[in-house]
Homo-oligomer: A and B are copies of this chain.
Amino acid sequence: MNKRMNIGLLGFGTVGTGVLQIIQDHQDKLVHQLGCGVDVKKILVSDIEKKRDVNVAPEQLTLDPQEILDDPEIDVVVEVMGGIDDARSYIRHALENNKHVVTANKDLMALHGSELLQLADKQNCDLFYEASVAGGIPILRTLVEGLASDRITKMMGIVNGTTNYILTKMSKEGRMYDEVLKEAQALGYAEADPTADVEGLDAARKISILGTLGFSMNLDLNDVSVKGITDVTSADLHYCDQLGYTMKLVGIANRCGDKVEVSVQPALVPHEHPLASVDDEYNAVYVYGEAVGETMFYGAGAGQLPTATAVVSDLVEVLKNKRLGVNGNSVVIPQFDKKLKTDEEIYSKYFLRIHAKDIPGTFASLTSLFNEYGVSLEKILQVPLSEGTLAEIIVVTHAVSKKNYDTVLEKLKSAGVVVEVKSSYRVEGEMKK
């Protein structure tokens, strides 16, 4: 039996506490898997005195990151402090000292993942970040290993629990956005400042990480077109349900040939699509591979234990690799040049809801505008509004280029018969291809 292995923790919030707890509770299992025990030697905290919910000795805590980053006895650094600048510099420092790194930091990996992976590769170190995407779902591992011999052409993910909770409650209970948001905040599903969630930024970070790995192409946050859920209304949800769709905030990464498109937006999926029944705060990532076809991975996207479990799974992998002397071999560096689709090349179906004058000829003048830009319609729903002079018109288009669709949207705004363009959403997942 070899010596025990030492790790250092950067950060001791919810996730850090969970990681320590799991390591303490599972020593037997760790010894079985690794052939040696694991000790958390040092933990970087911002307050030494603070009372902790977990069994920790005062000498395990430090205010000084160097005590971890420069300690030759520490084999692996686990970064669960969050934030960008300090985390980045500590991880760089750790890698430069030939320490392996496990991180749960999606903000950091979405912004500087490529740089850090390059450094890890150069240093022959492991850098794992499973917990950064969807805590309870081992999706990164699956993309790297399970689908290794396939070619992935599409990923669609419900990767933000807060917005999925809000949309689920709005859809199923007919409630208003503001009210459900408040409830989500009270339940701890949404932050006091929910901007990053509801504006789609959190989901954008995750889909950029997924796209980078799945397509082996260095996609960053700026490549993701982002739209959040703050404008979604009960009326939209009502009509989308009526037409057979469920609205979800989805991150989409599409590949066609060697060109890709990455976006986040509320989109409509058919009721029978596997993503449609992913409810409440749950996450799921749907992957289409040329060989395996449709697959979907479902689970808790966040939470202390799911996230800490993902971190510890990565840690076990790193430690196994270390005992085998094969660290650094699993670092995956994007191998293809980035090529983004133009708006002419992004094809999609759309749901469009407008208020128009309820007079003869309205629909004819709309369809002639659609026709002009090659937009053909698959579904049409027209209902008179209670006001009497207005009609609610909802159409679902056939697939059309984003360029043409956006042009039509613009033209509609100034079309005489249109009073207001109420909403417009992508429709996804219709072909079970």
Among B272, B278, B313, B335, point to the contact of A145 (Cβ < 8 A).
B313
* A292 in contact (CB, < 8 A): yes
Residues in chain B near residue A294, CB distance under 8 A: 136, 282, 298-300
Q: Check A361 for interface membership: any CB of B closer than 8 A.
A: no
How far does the alpha carbon of A277 sit from the alpha carbon of B316 in the complex, in Å?
34
Q: How far, in angstroms, from A348 to B306 measured CA to CA in the complex?
A: 27
Do residues B272 and A274 form an inter-chain contact, with CB atoms below 8 A? Answer: no
| Chain A facing B: main interface SS | mixed
| Interface assignment of A185: CB less than 8 Å from any CB of chain B | no
Interchain CB contact under 8 A, A298 and B296 = yes
**Chain B residues within 8 Å of A272, by CB:** 277, 279
**Chain B, residue nearest A141 (CB):** B146
Min CB distance A216 to B, Å, is 9
Q: How far is the CA of A71 from the CA of B290 in the complex (A)?
A: 34
Residues from chain B with a CB closer than 8 A to the CB of A278 are: 274
Q: Which residues of the partner chain B approach A148 to less than 8 Å between Cβ atoms?
A: 33, 312-313, 316-317
Number of copies: 2
- Contact partners of A277 in chain B: CB under 8 A: 272, 274, 276-277
Q: Note all chain B residues with C-beta closer than 8 A to A290.
A: 305
Q: A29 an interface residue at 8 Å Cβ cutoff?
A: yes
Contacts of A300 in B (CB 8 A): 292-295
Kindly state whether residue A50 has any CB partner on chain B within 8 Å: no
The answer to whether residues A149 and B29 also contact, given A272-B279, A274-B298, A298-B297 and a CB cut-off of 8 A, is: yes
Q: A136 contacts which of B137, B293, B306, B309 (Cβ < 8 Å)?
A: B293
Bound together, the chains give a CA A278 to CA B294 distance in angstroms of 12
Is A324 interfacial (CB 8 A cutoff)? yes
Q: Which residues of chain B are within 8 angstroms of A305 by Cβ–Cβ distance?
A: 290-293
> A82: which B residues are within 8 A, CB to CB?
none
When the two chains form their complex, are residues A150 and B309 in contact, meaning their CB atoms are under 8 A apart? yes
- How close is A138's CB to chain B, nearest CB, in angstroms? 3
Residue on B nearest A289 in the bound complex, by CB: B309
CB of A303 closer than 8 Å to a CB of B: yes
Tell me, in angstroms, the Cα distance from A138 to B141 when the chains sit together. 10
The number of chain A residues touching the other chain, given as a range, is: 35 or more
A138 with B149: CB separation less than 8 A? no
* Residue contact B292 to A26, C-beta cutoff 8 Å: no
In the bound complex, what is the Cα–Cα distance between A137 and B274 (angstroms)? Answer: 15
| A292-B306 contact in complex given A141-B146, A146-B138, A324-B324, C-beta closer than 8 Å | yes
Contact B313 A149 (CB under 8 A): yes
Contact of A32 with B149 in the complex, beta carbons under 8 Å: no
Q: Is A142 an interface residue (CB 8 A)?
A: yes
Interface residue A326 (Cβ < 8 Å from any Cβ of B): yes
Extra pairs beyond A147-B313, A150-B313, A284-B296 (8, CB < 8 Å)? A136-B293, A136-B295, A145-B313, A149-B309, A272-B277, A289-B309, A292-B300, A293-B306
Between-chain CB contacts (< 8 Å), 21 pairs: A22-B291, A29-B149, A30-B149, A138-B145, A141-B142, A141-B146, A142-B146, A145-B145, A146-B313, A148-B317, A149-B316, A274-B277, A274-B298, A276-B277, A277-B277, A291-B305, A292-B299, A292-B309, A293-B299, A295-B297, A297-B297
The 6 A-B pairs with the shortest beta carbon distances in the complex, nearest first, are A138-B146, A295-B299, A149-B312, A296-B298, A136-B292, A291-B309
* Chain A interface residues (CB < 8 Å from chain B): 22, 26, 29-30, 32-33, 130, 135-138, 141-142, 145-150, 272, 274, 276-279, 282, 284, 289-300, 303, 305-306, 308-310, 312-313, 315-317, 320, 324, 326, 329, 335
